Structure 1
Amino acid sequence: MRKTEAVEYFGSPTKLAKAAGVSLPAVSRWGDIIPERRAARLSEITNGALKYDMTLYDVEKQPPEIA
């Protein structure tokens, strides 16, 4: 789940933080992809309006990083 989608859904990073059960600074530290546990929680509490996509978190299928 991408952070931009979740912020758009909830209306602000502050509201996203509250829904995810974390602090605003924690949300600020997230990269483009929301941490997996939080993404699963957000998908559940939004009844699937926000989609938890396992493939974003499947490390084995991610292309190797270029040094």
Structure 2
Amino acid sequence: MIDTEHFVIDKLRPEDAADLSDFMISDKKRFGRFFPVTLAQNLSKEASKAYILLKNIEIG
């Protein structure tokens, strides 16, 4: 986690899956252009949950 006076950055949790999926889908055109693989892995709540779990393992 990164915590400064102005913002906090923390790892996503499985509970964040619906919000992540909604966020990616809401700007599908832009994410598709710049992050097509990430978008493809987050097109549903279940897919986003799997994505979050995988990335948390990769990050450690």
Q: TM-score, normalised by structure 2?
A: 0.28
Q: TM-score, normalised by structure 1?
A: 0.27
Larger strand proportion of the pair: 2
Larger helix proportion of the pair: 2
